[in-house]
Amino acid sequence: MSISSERTEGIVSELLPILGARIQRIDVVDVREIVLELRCPGRTLRLLLSARPGFGRIHLVDQRPSRLVPGGSLQELLRKRLSGRPLLHLEAVGAGVDVLVPGTRLAVRFHPRKDALQIDAIEVDEGLELPSRSTEIPAHFPDNARLAAEYGARDRGERHERLRLALLQPLRAQEKKLRRLLSRIEDDRSKLEGLLPLRHRAELLKSTLGRVRRGAHQVEVHDWLTGAPALLSLDPSLEPKRQMERWFQKAKKAERGLPQVSARMTEVEAQLLELRGRIERIERADPEALDAGASALGQGPEDSSRRARRKEKAPAPIDRWSRRFVSAGGAEIRVGKGAAENDRLTFASAKGSDLWLHARGVPGSHVLLRRNKDEPILQEALLDAAHLAVHFSDARHEAKAEVIYTEARYVKKLKGTAPGLVSLSKEKTLWLQVEPPRLQRLLNPEKK
């Protein structure tokens, strides 16, 4: 429970010699619990002010308690109002205390159920002047020390468990996220493994292609692996040759994708193993190790999130709605990721001088070839961008395709039209003979 009014008066009376000390740091360490770091001549003192339900009190502490909650807007406000200012006055007010600094009153109220912090701006410091240094600051504050020991014994266990939970919570959330990712990767691997037998089916169909009629639902072939007849189910809407090609394509996709999926699975499993080790170390850690979390177990929730924000630079908005490629001459090419993303790329990211491209007559991505004003159009860069326009469209399997292009300034959005639909003026047409090596260079620049 919170300390009584009489005991508060005794604590405040013992603290009067520190009036005039400057507040050099303010930390929110728990729910409605702050620490003021005070600089006195030759010394630094830390004053704990707690309005936490059931733990309301004021006293000096030897060390700043571990942070259990983010400082947030409260800490920002306190630092703005109190940092660098002298402590003018401390006054016990019923079940609580008022802390006065120039321009601000910090009211801390103790109550078993509804303790609270209140920050008031005051126009006049009620005639208070900076205390003189006639009173020597004692080396020891016995009433404060007794109260700190009493409350320390009472809430140490709870505080350590809350600190443990604060350290574990983000790690467990990360573990849950990684397990979901691993499950999706396992599903992908299972689907790809299911496509591998299609190569054998394609080979069997190839051996008997000449006698399979279009529209057939199945065909019986001799399986040279088993030495027995085998019945192949066919898609009657496809020509037999097209059915064979599709099976070969799917099998090739699986053979190409399985090593990548397996490598990704190994990577995620390693991350999970390392994360599980960190969680277990925190679960077994003693109070001393928890208090030393900055070095042994990682920072508290606020510090770790701040560190992560510094480490992980947020992607530029354009990277969220487009893919980036580089032409042979170094020009940047952007390709929209979907209908809504096409609109954002064309109307929120393009310069008027950029070249806008699209495969004619079929659904596909908007493509931007970056270009400065009055800069000549380089033929190789134009061909690179045109190949990407065809690849990211429904004409991707065609050997020849038609691509339209114009400057982005001549692309307009008609009111009320669906995402991705635009109107053009001054467009030109490029008849493209698709060059697979060029496309591979763009899609896999590291393999060139």
Give the tens place of pLDDT for each residue, 215-253.
999 999 999 888 899 999 999 999 999 999 999 999 999
Cα end-to-end span (Å), the chain: 71
Number of H helices, E strands in the chain: 12, 18
List pLDDT tens digits, range 408-433: 999 999 888 888 889 999 999 999 99
Nearest to 159 by CA among 63, 38, 277, 37: 63
Residue 136: pLDDT over 60? yes
Q: How confident is the model at residue 303 (pLDDT cuts 50, 70, 90)?
A: very low
Kindly state the DSSP code that residue 52 receives in the 8-state scheme. -
List pLDDT tens digits, range 8-24: 899 999 999 999 999 99
- Whole-angstrom Cα distance, residue 341 to residue 408? 16
34 pairs with which residues across the strands? Answer: 28, 49
Nearest to 32 by CA among 110, 94, 117: 117
Q: What is the pLDDT of residue 272?
A: 92
Question: Looking at residues 434-445, what average pLDDT do you find?
Answer: 91
- Whole-angstrom Cα distance, residue 52 to residue 115? 6
Element (H, E) at 29: strand 22-30
Going by C-beta distance under 8 Å and a sequence separation of 6 or more, which residues neighbour residue 31? 52, 68, 69
Question: Which residue do the tokens 């599980």 mark?
Answer: 276
301: helix, coil or strand?
helix
Q: What is the pLDDT of residue 313?
A: 53
- Whole-angstrom Cα distance, residue 23 to residue 406? 64
Q: How confident is the model at residue 121 (pLDDT cuts 50, 70, 90)?
A: low
Tokens representing 334 are: 């952007």
pTM exceeds 0.85, yes or no: no
Kindly state the DSSP code that residue 126 receives in the 8-state scheme. T
Residue 88: pLDDT over 50? yes
List pLDDT tens digits, range 23-45: 999 999 888 889 999 998 888 99
Q: Residue 403 in contact with residue 360, Cβ under 8 Å?
A: yes
Nearest to 128 by CA among 108, 107, 106, 100: 100
